Structure 1
Amino acid sequence: MLYLAHSLEQLNDLINTKGELVVVEYYRTYCTSCQIMDSVILQYAREFEANLKLVKVDIDKVHVPNADSITVTPTFDFYKDGINFSQFVGSDPVGLKKVIASHV
């Protein structure tokens, strides 16, 4: 399922989901690579719906504590039971799918 987080509280609630893989995409609205990944993200949200929550966060609108460490968008953080265990950076649909598939 695909979610848009409009606040830090909403993001934290989604990240802390128990038993599911949560992938957070940090993006910017003017980022061309992020726009390219939009349809890919929607496809993966449908494909892995039973085992995955995909969360999109516009880092220009939602203040996230790790925003300073996000130097490239899109950046994808992977969480399980609230713990960040992996990161994928860039707009490589095949690479992102491989990482998602290896964790669901």
Structure 2
Amino acid sequence: MAVKQQFQSFEDLLAGASGPVLVDFYATWCGPCQMMAGILTTVSSQLKGQLKIVKIDTDKYPQIASQHRIAALPTLVLFKAGQPVDRIEGVLPADQLVAQLQPHLG
């Protein structure tokens, strides 16, 4: 299950993570983002314990979105040790998303 979190800073969130963090940049009005939410639930259960999924509403945190040059929604960014290592724009089926994330995990 993706966690909606309140945090002091995005950097703190990333720094405090023990493993990879997949950040879902979304907006409530974005149709594809709604589709992605269901896909992420599937991915989360398939990759249980291997990564943390965090959702960031770009309307609430525009400064984080611009800092990471988020142009399209949804955009997923995978962070390892606080650094972005992969970026996925648009909706991907769960199996393709898992396949793309797998090399960065474990």
Q: Is the TM-score greater than 0.5?
A: yes
Report which stretch shifted further, 43-52 or 61-70: 61-70
Which whole-Å CA distance do the structure 1 matches of 2:74 and 2:6 have between them?
Answer: 17
Which whole-Å CA distance do the structure 2 matches of 1:18 and 1:7 have between them?
Answer: 12
Match of 1:103 in 2: 104
Match of 1:40 in 2: 39
Where do residues 1-104 of structure 1 align in structure 2 (5 Å cutoff)? 2-7=2-7, 9=9, 11-67=10-66, 69-93=69-93, 94-104=95-105
Report which stretch shifted further, 26-35 or 45-54: 45-54
**Which structure 1 residue ranges, 5 or more long, are not aligned?**
none
* CA-CA distance at 1:97 after TM superposition: 1.9
Q: Across the two proteins, how many residue pairs are aligned to each other?
A: 103
* CA-CA distance at 1:62 after TM superposition: 1.7
Which whole-Å CA distance do the structure 2 matches of 1:8 and 1:67 have between them?
Answer: 18
* CA-CA distance at 1:19 after TM superposition: 4.4
**Which structure 2 residue ranges, 5 or more long, are not aligned?**
none
Give the secondary structure class of the aligned counterpart of 1:87.
strand
Contact 2:24–2:77, Cα closer than 8 Å, also in 1: yes
Residues 27-64 of structure 1: per-residue CA shift (max 9 Å, x gap)? 01111100011111111112212110011000001233
Letter in 2 for 1:57: I
Give the secondary structure class of the aligned counterpart of 2:61.
coil
Normalised by the size of structure 2, how large is the TM-score?
0.82
Residues 56-99 of structure 1: per-residue CA shift (max 9 Å, x gap)? 00000123344272111010111111111221111012432211
Q: Could you tell me the percent identity over the aligned residues?
A: 26
Which whole-Å CA distance do the structure 2 matches of 1:92 and 1:63 have between them?
Answer: 24
What's the RMSD between the two structures over aligned residues?
2.0
Normalised by the size of structure 1, how large is the TM-score?
0.83
Higher share of residues assigned strand: 1
Report which stretch shifted further, 92-101 or 48-57: 92-101
